[in-house]
Amino acid sequence: MPIRAVISDFGGVLTSPLLGAFARFQEDTGVTLEQLGAAIASGAGRLGGRNPLFELECGRISEGRFLEILGDELEPIRGERPALHRFGETYFDGLDPNDEMIAEMRSLAGRGYRMAILTNNVREWEPIWRAMLPVDEIFELVVDSSVVGMRKPDAEIYELTLERLGGIDPGACLFIDDTEVNCEAAAALGIQAVHLRDNAQAIAEIRSALDE
């Protein structure tokens, strides 16, 4: 079945790798990735066992509440309460537009493919990430986890994306993401998936899939 629609992740695909964002967060706050992970894991106890990051990405808690939980959990770990008020800004300070992949997406839009973004994101961050690239020039649809209340790799968010593309057949879609489990979830629904490890590899696989 020929591909008619291309669905792209945002962070790590249309931007530089997300590790850069976490490195910048660590540099600015002094909080290590291990401490951040431990705080998120222990913070689940404040939300009835639900992961605070997942709740944030599904829009069920605000960024302010998420940062309150992180601060409460990090304070005993670090012996002081870290300054987290610029969490979103610091995160995006560590990301740059992935110009090569953006150019590829623009080319595909120009060739008539239907274009969508499917992103796990934070509601309060939308003005920041949309300002990073020409979203509306390239993509006709954005499905943001924090707006729709579901997140990758849950099947429902992929199904919602297909529905919003007019009920397009999964086999007519190509999905690109930098997280393998998200690609596996798409593939389980019959969507062709490209796991981006670097630009050259991903672009070659995208072009091969579209040429088949």
Residue 42, pLDDT score: 95
Q: In which residue are the tokens 């992103």 written?
A: 119
Residue 19, pLDDT score: 87
Q: Are strands 173-177 and 192-195 parallel, antiparallel or unpaired?
A: parallel
Is the pLDDT reported for residue 212 higher than 80? no
Q: What is the mean pLDDT of residues 171-198?
A: 98
The answer to whether 44 and 51 have CB atoms below 8 angstroms apart is yes
- pLDDT grade, residue 28 (50/70/90)? confident
Residue 20, pLDDT score: 87
Q: What is the mean pLDDT of residues 27-49?
A: 92
Question: In the chain, where are the structural domains located?
Answer: 5-16+96-211, 19-93
Mean pLDDT of all residues belonging to the chain: 95
Is the pLDDT reported for residue 147 higher than 90? yes
Residue 139, pLDDT score: 98
The amino acid occupying position 45 is: G
Alpha-carbon gap, residue 161 to 119, rounded angstroms: 11
Is the pLDDT reported for residue 23 higher than 90? no
Residues 6+ apart with CB under 8 A from 120: 11, 57, 145, 151, 152
Is the pLDDT reported for residue 113 higher than 80? yes
Is the pLDDT reported for residue 129 higher than 80? yes
Residue 41, pLDDT score: 95
> pTM for this structure?
0.94
Q: Give the percent of the chain with pLDDT over 90.
A: 85
Encode pLDDT of 50-101 as tens digits: 999 999 999 999 999 999 999 999 999 999 998 888 888 888 988 999 999 9
Is the pLDDT reported for residue 174 higher than 80? yes
Count the neighbouring beta carbons within 10 Å of the beta carbon of residue 25.
Answer: 21
| 3-class secondary-structure state, position 4 | coil
Q: Kindly state the tokens that stand for 41.
A: 């894991």
Selecting from 3.40.50.2300, 2.70.98.50, 3.30.70.100, 3.40.50.1000, what CATH number does the domain 5-16+96-211 have? Answer: 3.40.50.1000
The answer to whether 142 and 33 have CB atoms below 8 angstroms apart is no
